[in-house]
Chains A and B, each alone.
Chain A
Amino acid sequence: MYWILVKAGVFRKKVRSLLTTFSVIVAFFLYGLLHSADPLFNGAVGEINAERMIMMPKHDMMFGRIPQSHINYLESIDSVTDIAWIDMLSMDINSMMENIPIFAISDDYFEVMDRFKASADEKEAFFSNRTGALVGKAAADIKGWKTGDLISIPTFSAKNDGTNVWEFYVEGIYTTSPAADELGIMVRHEYVEEARANNKGTVSMIIFNLDDPTKADQISNIIDNNFKNSAYATFTGNEITLSQKMLSDIGNIKLIITSIISAVFFTLLLVTANTMSQSVRERTSDIAILKSLGYKDIQIFISILLESNFIILIGAAFGLGFTVMTVPLIDQASGGLTGGLIVFDIFQVLRGILIGVLMASLAGILPAYQAYKLKVVDALAKG
């Protein structure tokens, strides 16, 4: 019974129903795409390690610096083991996008950050050459670099000779997970420290392990409190905490995404509710006839709600379906940069469907109530 009533409503104005459904498809597609990037903002990134500790500048985590002497303090803490450090040569965001960022690493970096992989031969060649470089696979693929190449990278870090273009010999290719971390050039800190004119004695971050990972919070607090009032205050935590803190320094991306999606759905709600209201108004005499045939008010109410659900859930199914098909294509088209981190799983699909049902009910409830309250005699008198 209800299907015939829903059909009679939905297909009465086909173009309008089609356009409304299309707007629902676009909204849910947008929802799907934005939510598929959730893992990037949740710290659930590849092999990021909750036990590996990182000390960074408290302010300006991306481009700030801390003195290398902080390492001495770390060495004085009993629980701290395996210290390494890394320093990014100065670049702004635009240069980073255009070129490839250069990371000057300490000699034991690969031991501490074991998710970065290079062959033993490549590492040996790298550590035997002061101007050697290991380039990330993604960077090598994009730039067409290969072992043996001499590469020149412009930076804002001036060298002792007054120039700021750094040259390195590619000694190998490193890989990692996520592949986004392959967009870099690793060079030797020892050489950079000696060759640069500015920022000597500073690093971007210090990485270390603890003999007992359960002490992470306690040790972090001790370290940060120690430097609290210094000019180089620190923020220490595990990799996940740090990645989230860095993202929040750029902006509250999750909040921005949630706001966009909320705005889209709110607009969609208004559009659908208006469409349903208009549709019910136009069908006043149809509804009156149905009631005169013996259809009960509640049956009419339910049929209007089902109609609203039909339009939104069909749109949601297509929108979410397109997302499920598109996300792997985006992942593939990124050349591995997203490293499989953009995902749209069954839970997000189910959440989308639930949102659809909620929206359909909200959009349909007022028009359904109008139809419920419609008096046959009044409607027939109006023609």
Chain B
Amino acid sequence: MSEILVDVKNLSKEYKRGGETLVVLDNLNLEIPKQDYLALMGPSGSGKSTLLNLIGGLDTPSNGSVSINGERIDKMNSRQLSNWRASNVGFIFQFYNLLPVLSAQKNIELPLLLTKLSSSQRKKHVETALSIVGLSDRASHKPNELSGGQQQRVAIARALVSDPDILVCDEPTGDLDRDTATEILNLLKSLNEDHGKTILMVTHDPAAAESAKRSLHLDKGKLIA
């Protein structure tokens, strides 16, 4: 059996809303092996994104534990989580979220500015990431000069550039047409199969879920399949 990368145990997340407690994740257990490609599906409000945020170190649980590569990220403070995110996880969002003023190259370089890499080393990393996503010829283009699919590729390159173990994708094809979505899904598949990246993807799209190695369904904060 493959080594476990993500180990979620008895995970709960609750929010207080006007005196009421809203349970978003309810005593959830999940193991994700290294180099897995897991699609999380479920209706809106089922807790998919919350689970993604907890595994990505963007949020902290109410109860339970989240271990990534053996590290308890639920015990980390805000500063430690920032440091951890910078080198261990790459995020891919539905709306790309590129900084509009910066070129593709500079957007991809953003995570590397937090490292001690020299300018030339950063440039090499960026070039590699760009070539993986097939956008070497668009390095100097700004986001508004790129199509939606190309912007998402830049976002994927930005997630990849610091060589994280896990890629966390929140509806990565939600804003793309079918053909472009297929290209992005193929790219993610290639990252998983050829580059050994562990991918956790939230999606509503069954076609997208099919491209993953396996799918899990969430409903009312619990895993049902």
**List of A residues within 8 angstroms of B113 by Cβ:** 1, 4
Choose one: B78, B85, B101, B170; the contact of A293 (CB below 8 Å): B85
By a beta-carbon cutoff of 8 Å, the part of chain A in contact with chain B is: 1, 4, 7-8, 11-12, 285-286, 288-297, 376-377, 380-381, 383
> A7, A8, A288: which has the most chain B beta carbons within 10 Å?
A8
Question: In the complex the two chains form, what is the Cα distance from A217 to B13 in whole Å?
Answer: 81
**List of B residues within 8 angstroms of A292 by Cβ:** 56, 58, 85, 91
| A293-B158, A377-B53 known; A4 vs B106 contact (CB < 8 Å) | yes
Please tell me if the beta carbons of B111 and A8 are within 8 angstroms of each other in the complex: no
**List of A residues within 8 angstroms of B78 by Cβ:** 296-297
**List of B residues within 8 angstroms of A4 by Cβ:** 102, 106, 109-110, 113
- Least CB distance, A55 to chain B, in whole angstroms: 69
The proximity string for B residues 43-56 relative to A, scoring 1 for CB distances below 8 Å and 0 otherwise, is 00000010001001
> A1, A294, A380: which has the most chain B beta carbons within 10 Å?
A294
Given A4-B102, A4-B113, A376-B58, output 17 extra A-B contacts at Cβ < 8 Å.
Answer: A1-B113, A8-B99, A8-B101, A12-B100, A288-B97, A291-B82, A292-B56, A292-B91, A294-B83, A294-B86, A294-B114, A295-B82, A295-B86, A295-B114, A296-B83, A380-B58, A381-B49
**List of A residues within 8 angstroms of B87 by Cβ:** 294
Name the CB-closest residue of A to B53. Answer: A377
Can you list 25 pairs linking A and B with CB atoms under 8 Å apart? A7-B102, A11-B101, A285-B95, A288-B97, A289-B91, A290-B110, A291-B82, A292-B85, A293-B85, A293-B110, A293-B114, A294-B82, A294-B111, A294-B114, A296-B78, A296-B79, A296-B83, A297-B78, A297-B79, A297-B82, A376-B53, A376-B58, A380-B93, A380-B170, A383-B95
Question: In the complex the two chains form, what is the Cα distance from A286 to B93 in whole Å?
Answer: 12
Please tell me if the beta carbons of A294 and B85 are within 8 angstroms of each other in the complex: yes
**List of B residues within 8 angstroms of A290 by Cβ:** 110
**List of A residues within 8 angstroms of B86 by Cβ:** 293-295
- Least CB distance, B14 to chain A, in whole angstroms: 14
**List of A residues within 8 angstroms of B99 by Cβ:** 8, 286, 289
Question: In the complex the two chains form, what is the Cα distance from A285 to B86 in whole Å?
Answer: 18
- Does B59 touch A at the CB level, under 8 Å? yes
- Least CB distance, B123 to chain A, in whole angstroms: 14
Choose one: A296, A377, A383; the contact of B82 (CB below 8 Å): A296
- Least CB distance, A166 to chain B, in whole angstroms: 71
Name the CB-closest residue of B to A288. Answer: B97
Question: In the complex the two chains form, what is the Cα distance from A292 to B53 in whole Å?
Answer: 10
- Least CB distance, B19 to chain A, in whole angstroms: 20
- Least CB distance, A112 to chain B, in whole angstroms: 69
Name the CB-closest residue of A to B83. Answer: A294
Q: Which secondary structure dominates where chain B touches chain A?
A: helix
Question: In the complex the two chains form, what is the Cα distance from A1 to B78 in whole Å?
Answer: 20
**List of B residues within 8 angstroms of A285 by Cβ:** 95, 97
Please tell me if the beta carbons of A1 and B85 are within 8 angstroms of each other in the complex: no
Please tell me if the beta carbons of B111 and A293 are within 8 angstroms of each other in the complex: yes
- Least CB distance, B53 to chain A, in whole angstroms: 5
**List of B residues within 8 angstroms of A288 by Cβ:** 97
Name the CB-closest residue of B to A9. Answer: B101
Question: In the complex the two chains form, what is the Cα distance from A286 to B110 in whole Å?
Answer: 12
Name the CB-closest residue of A to B50. Answer: A377
- Least CB distance, A10 to chain B, in whole angstroms: 8
**List of A residues within 8 angstroms of B82 by Cβ:** 291, 294-297
Question: In the complex the two chains form, what is the Cα distance from A367 to B105 in whole Å?
Answer: 28
Name the CB-closest residue of B to A291. Answer: B82
| A1-B113, A7-B101, A286-B97 known; A293 vs B59 contact (CB < 8 Å) | no
**List of A residues within 8 angstroms of B56 by Cβ:** 292
Question: In the complex the two chains form, what is the Cα distance from A295 to B101 in whole Å?
Answer: 18
**List of B residues within 8 angstroms of A294 by Cβ:** 82-87, 111, 114
- Least CB distance, A7 to chain B, in whole angstroms: 6
Choose one: A1, A12, A296, A381; the contact of B101 (CB below 8 Å): A12
Question: In the complex the two chains form, what is the Cα distance from A289 to B109 in whole Å?
Answer: 13
Question: In the complex the two chains form, what is the Cα distance from A85 to B97 in whole Å?
Answer: 81
Name the CB-closest residue of A to B96. Answer: A289
The proximity string for B residues 64-80 relative to A, scoring 1 for CB distances below 8 Å and 0 otherwise, is 00000000000000110
Question: In the complex the two chains form, what is the Cα distance from A291 to B78 in whole Å?
Answer: 10
**List of A residues within 8 angstroms of B84 by Cβ:** 294
Question: In the complex the two chains form, what is the Cα distance from A297 to B78 in whole Å?
Answer: 8
**List of A residues within 8 angstroms of B95 by Cβ:** 285, 383
**List of B residues within 8 angstroms of A296 by Cβ:** 78-79, 82-83
- Least CB distance, A136 to chain B, in whole angstroms: 60
**List of B residues within 8 angstroms of A1 by Cβ:** 113-114
Question: In the complex the two chains form, what is the Cα distance from A1 to B116 in whole Å?
Answer: 11
**List of A residues within 8 angstroms of B106 by Cβ:** 4
**List of A residues within 8 angstroms of B97 by Cβ:** 285-286, 288-289
Name the CB-closest residue of B to A294. Answer: B86
Sorted nearest first, the 10 A-B pairs with minimum C-beta distance are A294-B86, A1-B113, A289-B97, A294-B85, A296-B82, A11-B101, A8-B99, A293-B111, A8-B101, A377-B59
**List of A residues within 8 angstroms of B59 by Cβ:** 376-377
Question: In the complex the two chains form, what is the Cα distance from A8 to B59 in whole Å?
Answer: 26
**List of B residues within 8 angstroms of A377 by Cβ:** 53, 58-59
Question: In the complex the two chains form, what is the Cα distance from A292 to B79 in whole Å?
Answer: 12
- Least CB distance, B101 to chain A, in whole angstroms: 5
> B87, B95, B110: which has the most chain A beta carbons within 10 Å?
B110
